[in-house]
Amino acid sequence: MITDPGRLLRRMLDAAIDAALPDKTLPRHLPKPPKGRTIVLGCGKAAGSMAKAVEDHWHGPLEGVVVTRYGYKVPTRRIEVVEAAHPVPDLAGRKAAERILGMVQGLTKDDLVLFLVSGGGSALLSLPAAGITLEDKQAINKALLRSGANIAEMNCVRKHLSAIKGGRLAAAAHPAKVTTLAISDIPGDDPAVIASGPTVADPTTFADARAILEKYRIHEPAAVLAHLRAAAEETPKPGDRRLAHATLHMIAAPQLSLEAAAEAARKAGVTPVILGDAIEGEAREVALVHAGIARQVRRHGQPAKAPCVLLSGGETTVTVRGHGRGGRNAEFALALAIALGGEPGMWAMACDTDGVDGTEDNAGAMVTPDTLARASARGMDAKKMLADNDGYGFFSGIGDLVVTGPTLTNVNDFRAILVL
């Protein structure tokens, strides 16, 4: 019998995060030291913890710099960890990108660039292409974040506005060997999309980027549109000789974390059902589908009999139309609570595994059978708050935000619906 559903959900979240921590997943993927220099570079929310894992397990000299989100820095000895803004880039991120690009100049075939990449790296490693300002990139990032564009679409645009992404960093490091160690936060685990693939060949084009802005009716800044129309220098494509010595190893991914959460559920006597590790779409619409599956479990014992937990990962989106606070996981949780309507025996948690839901201080939120009743007793209207994109305000008001602090990894969304 499950006596504390909330605690069980938190154990599953912790297991998912633990399975993606660099100190456990990275060491076995380290390459052999080269004859020449070893330069460690990186970007993303896990960049600091990945750099520390390299230092702790590397035998030989090394040097380097990585950039991570403010608050995600960890102590290191030989690899410098700098902090910058996410999800909208800032001057610190641009300066870090300039340094990183500068460090791969003039390398030889005897040198090794060890590149550490994880989710969030696209905003953190921000080096505008010629003719584009940092302010232009900030404006286009904000527009894309509010538009409902998925991560692959956003990163396609970012690659074509960058002097370092879309394989450009690896091309600049030629003829050195480039080994990338990646933590995936991308539905489908496409290496070219993780942090906009600084060391990976890019199959997308300027035309693709223009089509995405047209799709979401983004018509400024003017300099961005002019740059995309000019299409002066494409990103390195598959087969580019400059990337011939570039390899990539995936050290952590959403599916592995979901499997770890599933094992935690089994140990508690709960049947896990993994719905998918690459689920995308509007957060509130994904919530409706999840609610329907949960009811199917409770009423018909399909796809598993209760007690059961439905697990899923991926990255939902939010088309922002209101003025409230909250990320996609709080939006999912609020929409799920409304869809379930206080049905007994339904508990849920939706969190970002990096510890930050959007730009807030919470990882996500918890849903209980009495979520709506407690909110109503406090005078809160759940449907109005969802319309205002105010999931943070809703769950803060009833004390059901999930706060983990920086987790130092990132395999994106974790959703669990416990059916008792």
Q: What is the 3-state secondary structure (H, E, C) of 279-339?
A: EEEEHHHHHHHHHHHHHHHHHHCCCCCCCEEEEEEEEEECCCCCCCCCCHHHHHHHHHHHH
Q: Mean pLDDT of all residues in the chain?
A: 94
What share of the chain in percent tops pLDDT 70? 100
pLDDT at 1 exceeding the cut of 80: no
The pLDDT tens digits of the residues spanning 249-293 come to 999 999 999 999 999 999 999 999 999 999 999 999 999 999 999
The pLDDT tens digits of the residues spanning 74-104 come to 999 999 999 999 888 899 999 999 999 999 9
Q: Which of 210, 215, 218, 102 lies closest to 164, judged by CA?
A: 102
Question: In Å, what is the CA distance from 47 to each residue of 26, 125, 151, 384?
Answer: 12, 11, 19, 39
Query: Cα(first)–Cα(last) distance of the chain, in Å?
Result: 9
Task: Give dist(CA 47, CA 53) in Å, integer.
Answer: 10
- The band of 302, judged by pLDDT with boundaries at 50, 70 and 90, is very high
pLDDT, position 137: 87
The pLDDT tens digits of the residues spanning 179-212 come to 999 999 988 899 999 999 999 999 999 999 999 9
CB 105 within 8 A of CB 116: no
Q: Which domains does the chain have, with CATH numbers?
A: 5-16+255-419 (3.40.1480.10), 21-252 (3.40.50.10180)
pLDDT, position 45: 94
CB 178 within 8 A of CB 247: yes
Cα-to-chain-centroid distance, residue 388: 24
pLDDT at 294 exceeding the cut of 80: yes
234: left (phi over 0), alpha (psi -120 to 50) or beta: beta
The pLDDT tens digits of the residues spanning 10-36 come to 999 999 999 999 999 999 999 999 999
CB 84 within 8 A of CB 90: yes
pLDDT, position 145: 82
Task: Give dist(CA 53, CA 71) in Å, integer.
Answer: 18
- Mean pLDDT for the stretch of residues 311-328: 91
pLDDT, position 212: 95
Encoded amino acid at 295, one letter: R
Q: Is residue 346 classed as helix, strand or coil in its secondary structure?
A: strand
Residue found under tokens 């996609």: 328
Question: In Å, what is the CA distance from 109 to each residue of 112, 176, 198, 244, 345?
Answer: 8, 4, 19, 12, 61
Q: How many residues does the chain have?
A: 420
The pLDDT tens digits of the residues spanning 342-362 come to 999 999 999 999 999 988 899
The neighbour count for residue 30, using CB atoms within 10 Å, is 17
Radius of gyration of the chain (CA): 22
Q: Which of 147, 116, 103 lies closest to 50, judged by CA?
A: 116
pLDDT, position 84: 96
- The band of 237, judged by pLDDT with boundaries at 50, 70 and 90, is very high
pLDDT, position 181: 98
pLDDT at 337 exceeding the cut of 90: yes
